[in-house]
Amino acid sequence: MAELAAFLISTLLKIIGVVFHFRVGWFVGVVVMEALFGLIAYGTMYLRQRTPIPWRFSGRLALVLLRQSWPLFLGAFAVIVYMKIDQVMVLSLAGSHAAGIYAAAARVSELTYFLPLIVFSSIFPAMTTLRKTNFNGYVSKLQMLLSAMTLSAYAGGLLLTLCASFVISVLYGPEYADAAIILSVHIWALIWICQGLIGHIYILNEKLTRYALIKDAISAGINILLNLILIPRCGGLGAAIATFIAYSFAAFWGNALFPPLRPLFRLQLDSLRLKGLYTKLKKLPANER
C-alpha cells in the first residue's frame, strides 16, 4: 500500500507537470522525491498501528544486513545501465528522432512493470515467513507465483502487441506511428521483469545476492554490446531486441550458469509452461472459477 501510494502521488505530480508545461526540473524532482513519498507512507501506516512496535538499534544486525546487501547496491547500478542505457545509445547511434520514437514505446511498456513490483513488495514478507516454517510449501507457492505472473505477462504482451498501433496513436498521435512496432517487441520484456522480481524472492531468502550482482553486470555488458550491433542496423527496434535479450539473461538464463541458482531456474522453466495453474484451476469449486 505504501509503494502504491508513492507511485500514485508521483504519477499525479508528473501529469500536473505535463498539463501545465513545467520545466524538466519538476520531473527530475518528482523522481527524486518518490522515495521520500514512500517513506512518508510507511511512517504513516506505522503510526496508525494501535500498538506500534518499539524501535531499537542493533549494531550486529546492521552489520549482517550490510554484509548481505552490498551486492544489491552495486547490482542496482548495473540494473540502471541495462534498463536505461538503450535510450542513450539510440540517441547517440541513430539520432534524436529515433530516440524520441523509442522512448515513447519504452515508456508505455515500462508502465506495466508496476504490477510485478507491487506483487513482489506485498508478497515478500509472507514468503520469507513461509520459508522458515514450511520449505516445501514455500517452493510450491513460489512455483505458483512464477506461473501466475508469467500468465499475466503473456496476457499483457499479447494485448499490447495486438493494440500497439491504437495505443501509440491515442497517446502520442500519428507522428509516432513507428513506435508501434517497437512497443510490440519491447513489451515482451515484461515476461523477464516478472520472472526476475519473483525470482528475487528466492535469491534474497537463500542469501545469493552476489550471484545477482554477477548476472546484472553481465546483462549490462550484453545490452551494450547488442545495442552497438543492432541499433545502427535496426534503430529503435534493434534496441528493443537487445533489451529483451539482456533482460532474459538477468532474470532467467543467468540462473542456469550458477549451481546454487539452478533450482530457481527449474522453477522458472516450469513456469514458462504455466506449471501448476491448470491443476489449481481444476481443483477449484465450479462457483469459484
| The predicted structure's pLDDT at residue 218 | 92
Range in 33-42, 73-82, 87-96, 152-161 with the lowest mean pLDDT:
73-82
High-pLDDT (> 70) share of the chain, %: 95
pLDDT value at residue 279: 64
Tell me the pTM. 0.81
Q: What is the pLDDT of residues 60-106, one digit of tens each?
A: 999 988 888 888 888 778 777 777 889 899 999 999 999 999 999 99
In the predicted structure, residue 284 carries a pLDDT above the cut 60? no
Tens digits of residue pLDDT in 170-186: 988 899 999 999 999 99
State residue 19's pLDDT score.
82
Give pLDDT, residue 156.
94
Query: What local confidence, expressed as pLDDT, does residue 103 receive?
Result: 92
Q: What is the pLDDT of residues 186-197, one digit of tens each?
A: 999 999 999 999
Supply the pLDDT for residue 100. 93
Task: Give the residue with greater pLDDT, 280 vs 39.
Answer: 39
Tell me, what's the pLDDT at 168?
93
User: How confident is the model at residue 45, as a pLDDT?
Assistant: 82
pLDDT of residue 283: 60
Least confident stretch, 75-89, 160-174, 243-257: 75-89
Which segments of 117-173 are extended strands (E)? none
> What pLDDT does residue 39 have?
87
- What confidence score (pLDDT) does residue 84 get? 82
Average pLDDT, the chain: 89
More confident residue, 248 or 37: 248
Q: Please report the pLDDT score of residue 144 as a whole number.
A: 93
CA atoms of 132 and 1, how far apart (whole Å): 25
